[in-house]
Structures are given as structure tokens and as C-alpha cells.
Chains A and B, each alone.
Chain A
Amino acid sequence: MSLKRTLPTSVLSGFALSGAFILTVLQLLLQNVPKDIDRAGDALLSLNANEGVANAVTTVVVYFRGFDTLGEIAVLFIAALGIGLMLGENERCVIKAQSNFMLHTGAKLLFPIITLYGVYVMSYGHLSPGGGFQGGVIIASGVLLLLISHRDFEVPHSFIVWLETFAGVAYVLIGLIGLLTLDIFLGNFLPHDVSQMGLLLSGGIIPIIYIIVGIKVGSEMSAIVQSLIKRGDNV
């Protein structure tokens, strides 16, 4: 009775509804725990050995499911465009508080290190965990640090636009070159010898595409972060 008084009926009914849904789903799930079967991934793992790429996830993301990644880049591109459209045309705000000296200097010192780390994660994506997405976002977080600490810092808009244009066009063009040479969209037309595995330049087009993805993701993310931070503040 006390429960009824403290909780409104909407909360109780929401609780009951979602609880009923989840209990049903859970019961159905636990009755048939999936068996160990041959999945596409096992076959992909053995195919991966021929590509000269150590990180199988990279091969899957960039090569076997390359079109998903292209679509994903398109999603990011449209989202950044939409966010720019929503927030961009307002007057730029100036962060009023003067950042303290330590933050100012620390950000300046940290930015190159963060960028370097991002580039490392990006270019070693085919050998170790990481890759384009992660590296791109790490670089964008470096940009974020500068945006917060330096009040008049701004990545030039045209620079971002050119980077993302270059990356997007290059991705599709590499795909089309693969289509022309090997009759496979995004075909691996560069030499990719297994004996080279472990080197930076192994794996044919795979590291190149992942770096392109990194450039694209980094520029989109920087654009998103910048339009969110610099949004006019006169609400």
C-alpha cells in the first residue's frame, strides 16, 4: 500500500510491461541455448590467414564486410552533417572562463602525444587491437582537449571538409578499382603476401583502407565535437 502511494501508476505499469517482456524473452532464450556450430567466422579465420593480416577483426571489418564499413562511414558522415546543420549556424560562443595556466600548457603538451597515439593505433590496426575507428576517435579526443582548454582554438572548417572529402572519395574509388581489376568491389588488388605478415606494409589494401577510415572518422568526430562545444550559449 505504501508502494502504491510513493510510485505513480505509470512507473508501475512500465515496470510490469518491461518485466513481462524481458521474462518472456529470457525464458525463450534459456530454453534453447545455441549449440556450438560452424559459424561464418571460423571459415573467415582460415581465409584470413591468406591476407597477411594478423588481426582477424580488421580483415573482417575492412575486407569481408567492407561494405558495412562503407555504410558506417556514410552514417557518421550524415550524422556529422546533420549535427552541423542543427547547431552550426548559431553564433559561435566564446568560453568565458579563462582556463588556468596548467590546463593551458598541459593541453598543449598532451595534444601531440594523443595525436601520435591515435596515429599509432590507426596504422597498426591490422597487427594489433585497434584501427581506424578507435584511432580516429582518439585524435578527435585530442582536438576536444584543445577546444576545452584554449578558448579561441578552432579547427578550420574547410580543413575538416577537405579531409573527409578526400577520405570518402578515396574509399569508394579504391572499391571501384578493385571492381575493375579483380571484378570484386573492394577487392584486394595490392600484393598481400603471407610471409610479410607482421610488417607495417603487409596486407595489401587493408591497412590503407583502415587509415582512410581513420582519417574519415577523425575528421567527422572532430566536426561533431566542435559543433557541440562551440554552439551558441545564449539560451
Chain B
Amino acid sequence: MIGFTILLTFIGIIIMAFASITQKKLADSIVLFMGVGLGSVVLFFIFNAPDVALTEAVIGAGISSLIFLMALKHLKAKA
């Protein structure tokens, strides 16, 4: 089961990352990027790295998305 979960999460992450990069609306791409962060939290947890998972959850998915959202507030919203 573990291998299947890893495979599925990876596929999800890659699709979300690609969508987030090619998306025209920046707000969408930031939300998708948060999805990438969350997926990697799941993977880190599976990989027996709870510390890294916690850090990625608060920083990768939390604070960096906030930073991007704040940037979005100030920059033009279309890429």
C-alpha cells in the first residue's frame, strides 16, 4: 500500500505543480502551489521524517503561500 500511496501523491503533486506554473490567473497558481506543499507534507510523513513534515507544513505550505498572496495583493494579478 505504501508504494501505491507514494506513487499517487507524486502524480498529484506533479499535476498540481504543472498546473500552478502554466495557470494564467496568479491566485489559482498560488493555491495550486499550496497543494504542492501539502502533498509534499504527506510524502515527508510517509518517509519517516516527521520533523521535516512539520516544518514543510508551517513553512512550505503556510508562510510561503502567505508571502505569495501578499505579493499578489501588490502586483498585477495576470501573468
Q: Do chains A and B touch in the complex (CB under 8 A)?
A: yes
Interface positions of B from 31 to 65, Cβ below 8 Å from A = 50-51, 53-55, 58-59, 62-63
By the criterion CB–CB under 8 Å, are B66 and A129 in contact? no
Do most interface residues of chain B lie in helix, strand or loop, or is the interface mixed?
Answer: helix
Identify the stretch in A29-37, A41-49, A130-138, A188-196 within 8 Å (CB) of chain B at 4 or more residues. Answer: A130-138
B interface, size bucket: 10 to 19
Interface positions of A from 50 to 105, Cβ below 8 Å from B = 55, 57-58
Residues of B within 8 A of A233 (CB): 73-74
* A223 in the interface (beta carbon within 8 A): no
Residues of A within 8 A of B55 (CB): 133-134, 137
C-alpha spacing A121/B53, complex, angstroms: 14
Given A228-B70, A229-B70 in contact, is the A141-B63 Cβ separation under 8 Å?
yes
Total number of A residues with any Cβ neighbor in B under 8 Å: 22
Q: Which residues of B approach A to under 8 Å, CB–CB? A: 50-51, 53-55, 58-59, 62-63, 66-67, 70, 73-74
Q: Which residues of A approach B to under 8 Å, CB–CB? A: 55, 57-58, 121, 129-131, 133-134, 137-138, 140-141, 144, 221, 224-225, 228-229, 231, 233, 235
